[in-house]
Amino acid sequence: MKVAVLSFAHVHAAGYLRLLSRMPGVEVIGSDPDQDLAAPGEVRGRALADEVGVAYAPTYEEAFAWGPDAVIVCSENARHRPLVERAALHGVSVLCEKPLAASVADGEAMVEACRAAGVRLAVAFPVRFSPAYAAVKAAVASGEAGRVLAVSGANNGSMPNRARRWFAEPELSGGGALMDHTVHIADLLDDLFGDARPVEVYAQTNNLLHADEVAVETAGLVSVTYSDGAVATIDCSWSHPRSHHSWGGLELTVVGERATLEMDAFDQKVHGFDERRGRGTELPFGADLDELMLRAFLYGPEEGGIDVADGEGGLRTLRVVAAAYASAESGAPVAVG
Amino acid sequence: MPPLHIGMLGAGGIARAHLPGWLALGARVSVYTVDGSARKLAAEYAESGHAVTAADDLGGLLAGVTAVDICTPTPTHRELALAAVAAGRHVVCEKPLALTARDAEEIAAAAVASGVRLHPAHVVRYFPAYAALRTAVARGDLGELAVLRFTRGGARPQWAPWFGDPAQSGGVIMDLMIHDIDIARWLAGDVIRVHARTRGVEHATRTPAEVVTATAVLTHASGAVSHINGLWGLPDQRFRTTFRVAGADGLLHHDSTAVPGFRITAQGVRAANEGIPTSPMTESPFLAELRDFVASWRLGGPEPRVSTRDGVEAVRIAEAAVESSRTGRVIEIEEAAR
């Protein structure tokens, strides 16, 4: 199995390269020619490939000429589309970093290009591979939780622009925290709610966090109403302190008619304190969600396990985000387009 | 100051929470109810030598007391508060002050006209974790606040049927979430925009397993946003409150069940409801609240932590949330109304 990681713009590229290089039977190369928009000091291109210890293709032409069975697109959100279309042209399965695109128009074009070419388009939502989410899903799917009434979720992280500046540059990212962090929980609910679809979105945002540094929204609350009446309120803020020893997390509370469920996708950790560094420390011992996602993408889902999100699902979550931006702008609830 | 004589109206759950506080402050308490339950409560306390008696006549009671403490169902607050104010008595009133901002404003205006104090009993301001949060925020530890989250939930109240009737209690938003609505406003200032949704069975039929939950997004004049989440849940839903408040310079969070100071890990059987109540590790927040109110009755006494306006504004925001939940619209709160 030959896998190429296209662009190292996203912080996840290095992690994917490492995981793929450790998978038996997988050959991996990286390619990162478009470094024009990187900030000084961001480790990109061959330097990153060398650091991780994987082969490097200086151009995308060479990466595709190598004959990959699958590619993973890790470019800036606004640059997903050309790489996905290129993969479609070459007939190569593609896993695209989330969100699917920076605009619904791009997302639609990508889904259509892959459909027309008969190429599989998947979107990188690793949290759906969390065992905690599997437990939530099992309780809901079996009917034990009863009808789901409401969900409240938080996907808070620290502002990611120090690792990669483009995250807070709207022409590349499509926005700020609302674009970056609404989609993970929206994707879980897209899966959890089955046929129920998001119909209306209300959102309020501000940029009171890091106001002196970036112009995009850094905090936001998003309420999504689904076609079965369920309501989900999501805190998508970059409100996790940057000097904190962890990156943030993802929590969900599901209120059903017959059970109340809570999950924390990233708190399988031993917590402690590091005296030498004078800060808190943690030892994650939970499942590696990225690894589970990559395995499902490359080899298909495990027996009874969840599959990667497809392009249509990625497009639905992107439409929720687009409606959220329209609502934050108008101050009123907006129908999901 | 002459010895405190409190006219306690009502003898239900919140009266029982306030009563030990009044006694700790050295007050004599006369309890008045319309259903005879005052006698039972007074007898319980009199047995252990406390100065608690039952009063039969509201007019006579109002003539003799220092202040009244309204611990009755919400729909009766307005009439009782207006009577007490007319008799020239300070009023402590359980939250919500009234079911509508209009009624709350009427009571507040009457208190001003009579020159008496009106204290909305937003006791969460006296819960130590919330007080510590407020102190840190006021000191500027978190910088400018950006996004606040509050949750509050427990088993659906079954001890008094009026809670299950939104026409009487205002529902989960007005009765339960108003606590955190008040805290959000206390921390991040006035609220200009409200969006809310209520799900589940609002009007309880007294079958036990009925859940109602609501979510509200508040936008403050500062631009900060608050998420308030409330749950009247299943019979085994453990009472729990949480907050997470993030500002430009830091983050504070708390879970009432995470650090109880003391917990019972076994008691032989799985207790219905909460089982043995866990002992508070600090002074009763109800006592702290009542002491703060009483201190303001002295000439030149300090202003209490909760003002009359705080109680009115909490009702205004909660009423907007109920309206938003009912109509599906966003409710703007005009500056002139605040």
CATH number at residue B276: 3.30.360.10
Same domain, B261 and B183: yes
Same domain, A299 and A228: yes
Same domain, A264 and A159: yes
Same domain, A314 and A249: yes
Same domain, A135 and A272: yes
Q: What does the alpha-carbon distance between residue B52 and residue A75 come to, in Å, rounded to a whole number?
A: 74
Whether the per-residue pLDDT at B277 is higher than 70: the answer is no
- Whether residue B175 lies inside any domain: the answer is yes
Same domain, A67 and A137: no
Residues 6+ apart with CB under 8 A from A177: A159, A205, A216, A217, A218, A219, A220, A236, A237, A238
Closest C-alpha to A256, from A157, A163, A145: A145
- Residue A253 sits at φ, ψ, to 5 deg, of -120, 130
Residue B82 burial (C-beta neighbours within 10 Å; 0-12, 13-18, 19+): middle
CATH at B75: 3.40.50.720
In the predicted model, what is the mean pLDDT of residues B214-230?
98
Same domain, B167 and B247: yes
- A130 Cβ under 8 Å from any chain B Cβ: no
Full DSSP string of A57-85: ESSHHHHHHT--SEEEE-S-GGGHHHHHH
In the predicted model, what is the mean pLDDT of residues B23-38?
96
- A156 Cβ under 8 Å from any chain B Cβ: yes
pLDDT-based confidence at residue B215 (cuts at 50, 70, 90)? very high
- B199 Cβ under 8 Å from any chain A Cβ: yes
Q: What does the alpha-carbon distance between residue B311 and residue B323 come to, in Å, rounded to a whole number?
A: 18
Whether the per-residue pLDDT at B272 is higher than 90: the answer is no
Same domain, B161 and B106: no
Same domain, B237 and B254: yes
- Does residue B96 have a cis bond before it (omega within 30 degrees)? yes
A230 to chain B, minimum CA–CA distance in Å?
Answer: 8
Note the pLDDT tens digit of each residue in B133-180.
999 999 999 999 999 999 999 999 887 889 999 999 999 999 999 999
Same domain, B152 and B179: yes
Last residue of a domain, one of A76, A102, A124: A124
Give, as one character, the DSSP assignment of residue B168: H
pLDDT of residue A70: 98
Whether the per-residue pLDDT at B273 is higher than 70: the answer is no
**Pairing assessment for the beta strands B191-200 and B331-332 based on DSSP bridges:** antiparallel
**Number of domains chain B is built from:** 2
In the predicted model, what is the mean pLDDT of residues B265-273?
68
Q: What does the alpha-carbon distance between residue A264 and residue A249 come to, in Å, rounded to a whole number?
A: 8
- Whether residue B306 lies inside any domain: the answer is no
In the predicted model, what is the mean pLDDT of residues B87-98?
98
Same domain, A50 and A135: no
Q: What does the alpha-carbon distance between residue B129 and residue B126 come to, in Å, rounded to a whole number?
A: 8
Same domain, B220 and B170: yes
Same domain, B69 and B154: no
Same domain, A292 and A232: yes
- pLDDT truncated to tens, each residue of chain A (337 aa)? 999 999 999 999 999 999 999 999 999 999 999 999 999 999 999 999 999 999 999 999 999 999 999 999 999 999 999 999 999 999 999 999 999 999 999 999 999 999 999 999 999 999 999 999 999 999 999 999 999 999 999 999 999 998 999 999 999 999 999 999 999 999 999 999 999 999 999 999 999 999 999 999 999 999 999 999 999 999 999 999 999 999 999 999 999 999 999 999 998 998 899 899 899 999 888 999 999 999 999 999 999 999 999 999 999 999 999 999 999 999 999 999 8
Last residue of a domain, one of B98, B121, B144: B121
Residues 6+ apart with CB under 8 A from A331: A204, B193, B330, B332
- Whether residue B300 lies inside any domain: the answer is no
Q: Which two tokens stand for residue A311?
A: 């392009």
Same domain, B52 and B188: no
Same domain, B97 and B230: no
Closest C-alpha to B148, from B100, B219, B86, B203: B219
Same domain, A174 and A119: no
pLDDT-based confidence at residue B307 (cuts at 50, 70, 90)? very high
- Whether residue B295 lies inside any domain: the answer is no
CATH at A43: 3.40.50.720
Last residue of a domain, one of B88, B121, B154: B121
A151 to chain B, minimum CA–CA distance in Å?
Answer: 9
pLDDT of residue A53: 97
Same domain, A207 and A315: yes
Domain range for A91 = 2-124
List, as ranges, residues 151-170 from B with C-beta within 8 Å of A.
151, 153
Using CB atoms, which residue from B144, B213, B329 is nearest to A255? Answer: B213
B100 to chain A, minimum CA–CA distance in Å?
Answer: 24
On the CB side of A281, how many CA atoms lie within 13 Å of its CA?
Answer: 9
pLDDT of residue A7: 98
Last residue of a domain, one of A124, A148, A181: A124
Same domain, A119 and A133: no
- Whether residue B226 lies inside any domain: the answer is yes
- Does residue A58 have a cis bond before it (omega within 30 degrees)? no
Mean pLDDT of all residues belonging to chain B: 93
Residues 6+ apart with CB under 8 A from B289: B21, B121, B123, B125, B126, B305, B306
Same domain, A227 and A281: yes
Q: In chain B, what percentage of residues exceed pLDDT 90?
A: 84
CATH at A196: 3.30.360.10
Same domain, A291 and A280: yes
Same domain, B113 and B172: no
Using CB atoms, which residue from B149, B330, B332 is nearest to A333? Answer: B330
pLDDT of residue B280: 61
- Whether residue B294 lies inside any domain: the answer is no
Is the distance from CB of B300 to CB of B86 less than 8 angstroms? no
pLDDT of residue B335: 74
Is the distance from CB of A265 to CB of A172 less than 8 angstroms? no
Q: Which of B144, B147, B226 to mutate to test the interface with A (most CBs of A within 10 A)?
A: B147
Bridge partners of A250, per DSSP, are A155
Q: What's the Cα-to-Cα distance from A288 to each of A10, A15, B191, rounded to whole Å?
A: 18, 11, 42
Using CB atoms, which residue from A204, A225, A239 is nearest to B217? Answer: A204
Last residue of a domain, one of B121, B146, B168: B121
Give, as one character, the DSSP assignment of residue B176: I
Same domain, B325 and B224: yes
List, as ranges, residues 264-283 from A with C-beta within 8 Å of B.
none
Last residue of a domain, one of A124, A140, A173: A124
Domain range for B93 = 5-121
Residues of A with CB below 8 A from B321's CB?
none
- Residue A182 sits at φ, ψ, to 5 deg, of -75, -35
Q: Exposure pattern of B19-37 as b/e (b: 16+ CB <10 Å)?
A: bebbbeeebbbbbbbeeee
pLDDT of residue A324: 98
Helix, strand and coil content of chain A, in percent to the nearest 5, comes to 35, 25, 35
**Number of domains chain A is built from:** 2
Residues of A with CB below 8 A from B145's CB?
208
Is the distance from CB of A210 to CB of A241 less than 8 angstroms? no
Size of interface A-B (CB pairs under 8 A): 118
The sign one gets for the Cα dihedral A267, A270, A275, A276 is negative
- A223 Cβ under 8 Å from any chain B Cβ: yes
Q: Which two tokens stand for residue B59?
A: 């007019």
Whether the per-residue pLDDT at B278 is higher than 60: the answer is no
Bridge partners of A225, per DSSP, are A200, A231
- Whether residue B83 lies inside any domain: the answer is yes
- Whether residue B12 lies inside any domain: the answer is yes
The sign one gets for the Cα dihedral A313, A7, A243, A324 is negative
Same domain, B105 and B129: no
